[in-house]
Amino acid sequence: MASASTSKYNSHSLENESIKRTSRDGVNRDLTEAVPRLPGETLITDKEVIYICPFNGPIKGRVYITNYRLYLRSLETDSAVILDVPLGVISRIEKMGGATSRGENSYGLDITCKDMRNLRFALKQEGHSRRDMFEILTRYLVPSTAAAPLPLFAFLNEEKFNVDGWTVYNPVEEYRRQGLPNHHWRITFINKCYELCDTYPALLVVPYRATDDDLRRVATFRSRNRIPVLSWIHPENKTVIVRCSQPLVGMGGKRNKDDEKYLDVIRETNKQISKLTIYDARPSVNAVANKATGGGYESDDAYHNAELFFLDIHNIHVMRESLKKVKDIVYPNVEESHWLSSLESTHWLEHIKLVLTGAIQVADKVSSGKSSVLVHCSDGWDRTAQLTSLAMLMLDSFYRSIEGFEILVQKEWISFGHKFASRIGHGDKNHTDADRSPIFLQFIDCVWQMSKQFPTAFEFNEQFLIIILDHLYSCRFGTFLFNCESARERQKVTERTVSLWSLINSNKEKFKNPFYTKEINRILYPVASMRHLELWVNYYIRWNPRIKQQQPNPVEQRYMELLALRDEYIKRLEELQLANSAKLSDPPTSPSSPSQMMPHMQTHF
């Protein structure tokens, strides 16, 4: 009896909090309206339902469906439950119960979401309300298959922001920041019309000594023409991280002189080490198996001056199944009795560990090993993107700022053709599609693990990572739509949609980590050991009101207070110094700058 009463007690005190979570995305909402609406959002229908809340039991409410979201408001006076779910988040809608169902609340809809939750609504059997709701949701979920094709909401969204997120990433500027072009590396426009490779960006950085003709010949030997191109160059030792897809070796062990020569040219841009290091992200058995379908890896015989390592990261299917298991143990109920071994059996943290370990190896090779590195998996758009972007995050503190991280995502993921549309399934009802996989989520999880281990190294906070993941699914912004740059160009995404970075950058304060201390040149090597990796509870178990952390976070509040106090003291000190120097009527000596004083102030922390 005692335990039951405790949970009641706990849920009671935390309940209100879960319910107050209305606006996480900074939209001004007209309180007089029943449903918050974005510019361009229109109400389609509303229905009375019973929301079967897994934590608080059935709640009578009214559900509103717009062309962007499903919104539920409780009709019960003692409960303020609100659900606000963008339609893009919905992965699957199932009818539960039939005409003969007798049990209470057994007739209705069961909605599976991409963000680790399920929603259940019980509806009245009379009046076809379930059929209506099912059909409307399905139509808006998969706009393109509707009788009259509807665009994704991102194309109807009329939100205006005072900054334009589409201008955040400019490849020329980013490469210039890295010191490119230089006399070893040049920018090429060979892919301007996406003719060389339709899943690559228009602008590429390649070895100075490789001609455009060389590039075309190399493209024939790389899966989907994804040739090795530069991702990042070390500012001091000038070693590089290069990304590509697997070579088309095949069963016969084909070789390609141009590819071999091209890799040698890449190697020669770095004079410090006689070998080029190749990281094949896959387990070696998978790499071998890929030969059967025409792929493969760089053999020692063909590539004398390269060293190949396999990183043992599994493919998209393994990751998808692993995340499913995570959901099984956290939603709706958290598997309490054998939590740690259940968590272990999902292998999710083990996969996180392998991805991080791989990225650490890449970063370490470039930085300490002074060797240029080539990274690929099969097609070079999933594991490769994870590895290059994480390694860059470890090596280059620029990417740890808010805008820097946006640039990193924009560059290594969006422009280099991570297939967001296929992996997430935007506007696609085929929820069992084998192409779907939480690769980007896994990357964000790795970033979160790093931010946990280096709490002062990142300008952004956890909310920043969560809002990115929320809008990965929401289809409110154009940022993550489509599979590659060429498709986005065809659809004129930057003209017709709003960028997620517009929302974030116009409201940056909300996403800032108060503990951030800017450090140039610091390389972060996270500890990729099971002893240190944790499940990201605030994301994966955020729907469970009993697991939620205190909000607002008192630590952050306290830190803000301390920062304000510090600023105040610095100001007062400067005033005193000024008064003092005036009194002495000496020629004003420059007062010691605040930055010089900071170390003293910080010894208290």
Partner 1 sequence: MFSLKPPRPTFRSYLLPPLQTDDNINSEPKIKKLEPVLLPGEIVVNEVNFVRKCIATDTSQYDLWGKLICSNFKISFITDDPMPLQKFHYRNLLLGDHDVPLTCIEQIVTVNDHKRKQKVLGPNQKLKFNPTELIIYCKDFRIVRFRFDESGPESAKKVCLAIAHYSQPTDLQLLFAFEYIGKKYHNSANKINGIPSGDGGGGGGEGNGGGVDSSQKTPLFEIYSDWDREIKRTAASGWRVCSINEGYMISTCLPEYFVVPSSLADQDLKIFSHSFVGRRMPLWCWSHANGSALVRMALVKDAPQQRKIDQRICNAITKSHPQRSDVYKSDLDKTLPNIQEVQAAFVKLKQLCVNEPFEETEEKWLSSLENTRWLEYVRAFLKHSAELVYMLESKHLSVVLQEEEGRDLSCLVASLVQVMLDPYFRTIVGFQSLIQKEWVMAGYQFLDRCNHLKRSEKESPLFLLFLDATWQLLEQYPAAFEFSETYLAVLYDSTRISLFGTFLFNSPHQRVKQSTEFAISKNIQLGDEKGLKFPSVWDWSLQFTAKDRTLFHNPFYIGKSTPCVQNGSMKSFKRTKGNPGT
Beta strands in 174-305 (DSSP E): 185-188, 204-207, 229-233, 240-244, 276-280
CB of 2 to partner 1, least distance (A): 4
Q: With binding defined as CB under 8 A, does residue 2 bind partner 1? A: yes
Question: By the 8 A CB rule, do 200 and 533 touch?
Answer: no
Using the CB atoms, write b or e for 477-504: b if 16+ within 10 Å. bbbbbbbbbbbbeebebbeebbbbbbbb
CB of 54 to partner 1, least distance (A): 16
Question: Is residue 383 marked as binding?
Answer: yes
Query: How far apart are alpha carbons 249 and 297 in whole angstroms?
Result: 7
CB of 459 to partner 1, least distance (A): 20
In terms of CB distance, is 341 or 590 closer to partner 1?
Answer: 341
CB of 568 to partner 1, least distance (A): 17
In terms of CB distance, is 290 or 346 closer to partner 1?
Answer: 346
Distances (CA, A) of 324 to 55, 117, 208: 21, 11, 46
- Three-class secondary structure of residue 246 per DSSP: coil
Question: Is residue 380 marked as binding?
Answer: yes
Question: Is residue 284 marked as binding?
Answer: no
Q: Using CB under 8 A as the criterion, what x/- string covers residues 325-344 for binding partner 1?
A: -----x---x-x-xxxx-xx
In terms of CB distance, is 3 or 596 closer to partner 1?
Answer: 3
Query: How far apart are alpha carbons 222 and 129 in whole angstroms?
Result: 53
Structure token pair of residue 361:
């190896």
In terms of CB distance, is 212 or 344 closer to partner 1?
Answer: 344
Q: With binding defined as CB under 8 A, does residue 596 bind partner 1? A: no
Q: Using CB under 8 A as the criterion, what x/- string covers residues 274-313 for binding partner 1?
A: ----------------------------------------
Question: Is residue 435 marked as binding?
Answer: no
Q: What does the angle CA 32 – CA 38 – CA 44 come to, to the nearest 5 degrees?
A: 80
Question: Is residue 414 marked as binding?
Answer: no
Strands 57-66 and 185-188: unpaired
Residues labelled as active-site residues: 377
| Residue range at the interface with partner 1 (CB under 8 A); choices 118-126, 262-270, 291-299, 540-548 | 540-548
Query: How far apart are alpha carbons 390 and 446 in whole angstroms?
Result: 8
Q: With binding defined as CB under 8 A, does residue 162 bind partner 1? A: no
The count of residues interacting with partner 1 (CB under 8 A) is: 39
- Three-class secondary structure of residue 91 per DSSP: strand
- 197, 219, 472, 535: which one binds partner 1 (CB under 8 A): 535
- Tell me which residue of 599, 479, 586 sits closest to 161, measured CA to CA: 479
Q: Using CB under 8 A as the criterion, what x/- string covers residues 75-114 for binding partner 1?
A: ----------------------------------------
| Residue range at the interface with partner 1 (CB under 8 A); choices 192-200, 403-411, 431-439, 530-538 | 530-538
CB of 332 to partner 1, least distance (A): 14
Site residues for partner 1, 346-365, by CB under 8 A, read 349-350
Question: Is residue 197 marked as binding?
Answer: no
CB of 346 to partner 1, least distance (A): 10
Query: How far apart are alpha carbons 34 and 47 in whole angstroms?
Result: 13
Question: By the 8 A CB rule, do 108 and 130 touch?
Answer: yes
- Cβ neighbours around 565 below 10 Å, total: 11
Question: By the 8 A CB rule, do 23 and 510 touch?
Answer: no
CB of 569 to partner 1, least distance (A): 16
Q: Using CB under 8 A as the criterion, what x/- string covers residues 547-576 for binding partner 1?
A: x-xx---xx-xxx--x--------------
- Tell me which residue of 71, 29, 69, 67 sits closest to 47, measured CA to CA: 71
Structure token pair of residue 413:
């993921």
- 210, 541, 542, 545: which one binds partner 1 (CB under 8 A): 541
Query: How far apart are alpha carbons 122 and 8 in whole angstroms?
Result: 24
Question: By the 8 A CB rule, do 376 and 281 touch?
Answer: yes
Q: With binding defined as CB under 8 A, does residue 534 bind partner 1? A: yes
According to DSSP, residue 54 is labeled T
| Binding region | 315-316, 377-383
| Binding region for substrate | 315-316, 377-383
- List contacts with partner 1 (CB under 8 A): 2-3, 5-6, 9-10, 330, 334, 336, 338-341, 343-345, 349-350, 529-532, 534-535, 537, 541, 546-547, 549-550, 554-555, 557-559, 562, 603-605
